[in-house]
Amino acid sequence: MRSPRNLEVWKMGVVNYLDALKLQEKLVSYRKICKIPDTLLSLQHPPTYTLGKRRTDHNLLIPVSELKQIGAELHYTQRGGDITFHGPRQAILYPVISLREIGLGARNYVEKLELTMIELASLYGVKACAGQKGETGVWVGDRKIGAIGVRISYGVTSHGLAFNIDPDLKYFKHIVPCGIGDKEVTSLRRETGAVLPAEEVIREQLISCFARLFGYSSITWKESPLILSDNEEIE
């Protein structure tokens, strides 16, 4: 019988992208030496465009010099995937977990991230599915509702998924989302056309879907942990 597994969830609110990136890097280093358990960061970012390691700058359709005018930032990352947008009213999950301990390969890991968002959408009567070949993320018809971009280092994950609850979709008009042209971006609010529960309720539902699909038997919640400085350690 497999022993019970616990997931530690950090509920962090709105976090600057670079702060979240530095935190992930520190947590990954700790997870590799088993200093921390599997950890899930639940947060939002201010309006931010990120590019993956392929550096597909041509999919940013607005001059970098004009980003400040629309209240957005641009950051380069080492995750997989193409350009995407992060902003308020998205549910973002960054898992820092050991795939080796749970016996998952990279492909199965991504598939479970997709299923996490598909299951959440189904709770609201929205039929979502994984993309076709070459289409990453989760889709409702030909409209993208969730993005995935991951990094795996020695079996430990970082980055993750972003599910659109009710973000300002105008920001997506300035990019070719995930490098896929001729497709729209959508949200749970747009697809349901109904009044949704509080965002925090939806975030917790997404976390519950993640925990169930990845086989965690319990969740430990941490409310708004402080961002660690370079010299701070986790107790």
* Catalytic (active-site) positions: 178
Find out whether 211 is annotated in a ligand binding site: no
Asked if residue 39 lies in contact with residue 31, where contact means CB atoms within 8 angstroms, the answer is: yes
Q: How many CB atoms lie within 10 A of CB 181?
A: 7
Gap between the Cα atoms of 208 and 231, Å rounded: 33
Find out whether 165 is annotated in a ligand binding site: no
Find out whether 137 is annotated in a ligand binding site: no
Find out whether 160 is annotated in a ligand binding site: yes
Task: Output the six-digit token pair for 191.
Answer: 């697809």
Find out whether 149 is annotated in a ligand binding site: yes
Find out whether 147 is annotated in a ligand binding site: yes
- 16 CB-near residues (< 8 Å, 6+ apart): 45, 46
Find out whether 189 is annotated in a ligand binding site: no
- 93 CB-near residues (< 8 Å, 6+ apart): 40, 41, 42, 116, 160, 161, 206, 207, 210
Per-residue DSSP letters for 91-105?
EEEEEE-BHHHHT--
Find out whether 161 is annotated in a ligand binding site: yes
Nearest Cα to 160, choosing from 198, 196, 125, 113? 113
Find out whether 84 is annotated in a ligand binding site: yes
Gap between the Cα atoms of 174 and 75, Å rounded: 15
Gap between the Cα atoms of 69 and 71, Å rounded: 5
Find out whether 86 is annotated in a ligand binding site: yes
79 phi/psi in degrees, rounded to 5: -80, 170
Q: How many CB atoms lie within 10 A of CB 66?
A: 10
Which parts are annotated binding residues? 79-86, 147-149, 160-162
List binding-site positions for substrate: 79-86, 147-149, 160-162
